[in-house]
Amino acid sequence: MNMQLLILSLIALLGLGSMEPAGVNAGSSGDISLGQEKELIDQQNQALVQEELTLGQTYRQLLDQKRAVLEQLRALNPKGGTTQDWQDLWENYLKYKDADDDEDDYEDNYKDKLKALRPKGVDKDAFKSKAEALLKALQAVQQQQDALEQSQETHDQKVQQLNQTKKDHTQKTGKN
C-alpha cells in the first residue's frame, strides 16, 4: 500500500493524473521515457498485486470468521436444523433489523424461524439471548465484508485502469 501511495504521489507530482503513467503525456514538457513509464507501471502492477493479496487475506479471514460464528449458531441445536436453516435465520434477522417499524412481517418471520430452531426443553429467553449475541457478531462480520467489497470494487477499477494504461503503453512500444 505504501508503495502504491508513493507511486501515486509520484504520478500526481508529475501532473499526469491518478493511475495514468507518465508516458501517456509523452511529448509534453516534463516528458519521461518509455522506460520510465514502464517502470512506473511495473511499480503500480506490483502494488496492485500486493493489494490483491492483502484483500485476499482479509476476505478469507472474514469468511472464516463468518463461518465460525455460523458454526457456533448451529451448535446451539445441532440436530434442530440444517446449516441452511441457520443461514436463513441469519438472513431473516438481517431483514428484520433493516426493516422499518411498520414492517412486522420481517419480525414475525425471524421470530418464527428462531422458535423453530429452539431445542425442546431449553429456556426460550436463554436461547434467544445466546442466538442474538451470535447474530450480532455475524452482523459485525457482515459489515466488515461489505466494507471489503467496496475496497475490492475500488481495487478492480484500479486494475481495469491499469490494464488500459498497459495497453496504451504496449501500443506505443509496438508490442500489441
Decide if residue 59 touches another protein (CB under 8 A): yes
Q: Among 3-11, 64-72, 90-98, 133-141, which window interacts with another protein (CB under 8 A)?
A: 64-72
β partners of residue 26: 28
Query: By the 8 A CB rule, do 7 and 37 touch?
Result: no
Residue 101 carries which DSSP code? T
Query: By the 8 A CB rule, do 141 and 65 touch?
Result: yes
CB of 24 to another protein, least distance (A): 15
Instruction: Return the number of the residue (25 or 87) whose C-beta is nearest another protein.
Output: 87
How would you write 105-166 as a 3-class SS string? HHHHHHHHHHHHHCCCCCCHHHHHHHHHHHHHHHHHHHHHHHHHHHHHHHHHHHHHHHHHHH
CB of 97 to another protein, least distance (A): 22
List 75, 133, 140, 147, residue binding another protein (CB under 8 A): 75
Binding residues for another protein restricted to 115-174, rule: CB under 8 A: 119, 153, 156-157, 159-161, 163-164, 166-167, 169-171, 173
Residue 29 carries which DSSP code? T
Decide if residue 38 touches another protein (CB under 8 A): yes
| 72 grid coordinates | 457456533
- CA–CA separation, 77 and 87 (whole Å): 14
The residues binding another protein (CB under 8 A) are 38, 41-42, 45, 49-50, 52-53, 56-57, 59-61, 63-65, 67-68, 71-72, 75-80, 82-84, 87, 119, 153, 156-157, 159-161, 163-164, 166-167, 169-171, 173, 175-176
